Structure 1
Amino acid sequence: MTDPLVWREPVQEAWIDYNGHLSEPYYVLVFGHATDNVMDAVGLGPDHRAAHDSSLYTVEAHVRYLDEVSAGADLEVRSSVVGATGKLLWIWHEMWVDGRLRATEEVLGVHVVGRGSAPFPDDVAEKALALLVEPPEEASGRIRPLRRP
């Protein structure tokens, strides 16, 4: 089994809401940073994006807020590729703090070149497939399982 990709960053003071916890939009911001980390791992990093006018656009996302996150926490997001087609990538993120799962996000992204969807380059598709694992039981089921391109 492929180990998850890991993204780490600390909670910023500006991200704390009036209840003293990580505010909702910042979970999504951190998951976005973790998605960028996955993009780097499959070959869609900044250099590739600039050279090919391409990116991964989110077309669907589902977040589960499972436990609060306090100020000063160190966040660890574990990310896995759980589905892929010729131009779609399904990513599963888990946010952990102090050994406890705090939130999850599943993201469906489409590869875009210019302003339209396009197949992944062969090398990107190969890297995505190399990272592919089965989706977890707790995935929402709203994003239909994707398989190999």
Structure 2
Amino acid sequence: MWFSESGRPPLPGSRTVCGYALQWGVPSAVRPGFDEVFHQGSLTWPDDLPLCRNHERTRPLVTLGNAFRLSATARGLWVEVDTDGVPDGNDLLLAARHGPLRAWSISFKATGERWDRTGDTPLRIVTAARLLEVSIVDRGAHHTTIGILSRMKQAA
């Protein structure tokens, strides 16, 4: 079932896909040998940040603007894409709803981090990072990704 950010079932007809690319403060096993967690407020991004499919940076789908929006909420990094504003938007929408594209992923350059090695698995704590791109992917690196959702206008 598809839900909007409010958690209510959406109305039919949406062409927007959205979800959390990551949640603040929740560790994820993104690489062998260590887990990773982001602090709230740790991410910045350029005005022309690209949205890619499976991290294919040579062929970005769209850059930040009317069709692709990001926001850092109290919960995490929220992503919205209006598929009408994306070349091949129909294919993207179908792949998100019924096909292989089920999650979000980010590429970033950490500019501030520290390590906690007190547990069984070392934990990389990202305190500052610059996003390089956001991708819609088949499997998100952070298990805290809240899949691809369909965001639609709520009934009055």
TM (norm. structure 1) is 0.27
Q: Which one has the bigger helix percentage? A: 1
**TM-score between both structures, scaled by the size of structure 2:** 0.26
More strand by share: 2
Higher RCO, Cα 8 Å, sep 6+: 2
